[in-house]
Structure 1
Amino acid sequence: MLELAILGLLQETPMHGYELRKELATKLGTIRAAISYGTLYPTLKRLQTAGWITETEADQTIVPPMTSKRGRVVYKITAEGKERFADLLAQAGPETYDDAGFGVHFAFFARTDRATRLRILEGRRRRIEERREGLRDVLSRATGRLDAYTLELQRHGLEACEREVRWLEELITNERSGRAPSGAADSHDLPADPAGDASPVFPRPHQDRP
C-alpha cells in the first residue's frame, strides 16, 4: 500500500523525502500511523531498484563548488513507475477491502476507473457487513456476561459499521448511476469528483446526528 501511495504522489509532482513523508501523512493520516523515515527510505530504495522511480539533486545552485555537500535528493516517477501505478490501481482483490488497503485505494479513486471503484466499494461493503454481523452475534450472546463499558464499546463498533455500510451503499449507488458523491463539495468528508484532477482524502463515514 505504501508503494501505491508513493507512486501516486510522485505522479503528481517530484518530491524529496521530507515532502513525501509530509504528503503521505496528509493523505493517509486518517488510516495509518505516522510513516517513519525508517519505513519510507527502504521503500524508496526498492522502488529505485525496480526502475519505478529515479532521483536527482535539487538546489544544486546553492551548493558551494569543490565541496562534499550534497544537494537535496528529489524523487521522480519513471514511465515504468507510471505503468506500475496503473497496475496497482487496477487491483481489486481482498487486500483492497481491509481498512488500510481500502483507504489507500480510496485516496486515489479520482484516478481509478469506475468499474474498479465499484468492485472495491462492493468488496468493502461485504467486509463491513461481515464485521457488523459478527458484532451483532457477540452482543446477542454475551450481553449478560459483559461489563457496561465493554458492552458500550461493542455497541459503538456496531454503530460505526452500520454507518459505514450506509455510506458505502450511497457511494455504490452514485457509481452505478454515474454521479459524483453527493457531498463532494465537502472535501474533508467525501472524495473529489472522479472526473476531476484532485486526489481525494480517505473520508470518515458520516456521523448520525440525534
Structure 2
Amino acid sequence: MSRRSGILEFAVLGLLRESPMHGYELRKRLNTSLGIFRAFSYGTLYPCLKTLVANGWLIEETASDAAAPPTTARGVASTGSLAGRRAKIVYRLTAEGKEHFEELLSHTGPDAWEDEHFAARFAFFGQTEREVRMRVLEGRRSRLEERLEKMRASLARTRERLDDYTLELQRHGMESVEREVRWLNELIESERSGRDQRRSSPEGCTQHDTSGETGGLPRHRDNTRPDPSDDTK
C-alpha cells in the first residue's frame, strides 16, 4: 500500500466511524472537511472502498434515493426520473473496521509526522487519546525543526547565487515552517495544561470529551492555523 492510499483509507474509516455515508457524501467530506484530499477523484475513492469492504472493515448497504414511486390511476407505478429510482450504496463501518481504525489511531511513528498524514491524523484528534496526540504533535514539531535547520543551512550556502524572487520564495517557505512550529508549540502547551488541570482538579470535577482526555485548543487572534499540506518540503 502506498503512503497516500494509506492516508485515504485512514480518513475514510474515520469519517465512517462518525456515521454511514454513500460515496458522494464521503468524497464531499474528504474535499471540504479535511481539505487535504482536494485532488482525489471517484476513480481513487471507489477502489479504496472496495478494498476496505474486501478486508471486512466496511459493509455495503443498498438504500433507495426515494420512497416507493407513486402509482398512476391504473395502479401502475410511476417511473419518475432515473435518479429518483436509482439505488445507492451506503458504506457502514463494521466492528472489525472500528477496531482497525482505533489501532491506526494509536500509531505514532514517523509517517504520522509527514505533511498529509499529519493533517489527516490531526483531523481525528477528537477521537485520539491524549498521550497519542502528544506524541504525534511532538514528533511533528521535531520533524519540522529538522526541516527548518536544513532550509536555513541551504539558504546560507546558496544565498549569493539566488535572484531576489527565488530568495523571497525560500524565505516564504521558511516562514511557513516557523509559523507551524509556533502553532505546534501552542497546541503542545495546551495539551500539557489540560493534563495538569485535570490532575489538580478535585476528583469527579473534570469534564471529558469522546476521547476522555481533551484539554482544549488554544485560541488564535486571527482564527487561522497553518495548513501542513502547504509546507515547503
Aligned to 2:169: 153
2:101 aligned with 1:78, yes or no?
Answer: no
Partner of residue 9 from structure 1, selected from 7, 15, 19:
15
**C-alpha distance in 1 between matches for 2:15 and 2:68:** 27
What stretches of structure 2 of length at least 5 have no aligned partner?
A: 1-6, 70-76, 80-84, 195-214, 229-233
**C-alpha distance in 2 between matches for 1:12 and 1:110:** 11
Partner of residue 227 from structure 2, selected from 199, 204, 207:
204
Aligned to 1:28: 34
Aligned to 1:56: 61
Identity %: 56
Kept in 2: contact 1:28–1:107 (CA 8 A): yes
SS in 2 for 1:88: helix
SS in 2 for 1:180: coil
RMSD: 2.3
What stretches of structure 1 of length at least 5 have no aligned partner?
A: 191-202, 206-210
**C-alpha distance in 2 between matches for 1:184 and 1:11:** 29
Residues 38-117 of structure 1 mapped to structure 2, 5 A cutoff = 38-59=43-64, 62=67, 71-117=87-133
Aligned residue type for 1:40: L
C-alpha displacement at 1:141, in angstroms?
A: 1.2
Aligned to 1:197: none
2:216 aligned with 1:180, yes or no?
Answer: yes
**C-alpha distance in 1 between matches for 2:140 and 2:219:** 20
Aligned residue type for 2:23: G
**C-alpha distance in 1 between matches for 2:56 and 2:122:** 25
Select the structure of larger CA radius of gyration. 2
Kept in 1: contact 2:30–2:37 (CA 8 A): no
C-alpha displacement at 1:62, in angstroms?
A: 3.9
Kept in 2: contact 1:59–1:71 (CA 8 A): yes
**C-alpha distance in 2 between matches for 1:166 and 1:60:** 47
**C-alpha distance in 1 between matches for 2:182 and 2:220:** 16
**C-alpha distance in 1 between matches for 2:185 and 2:97:** 33
Kept in 1: contact 2:17–2:93 (CA 8 A): yes
Aligned residue type for 1:58: A
**C-alpha distance in 1 between matches for 2:105 and 2:148:** 27
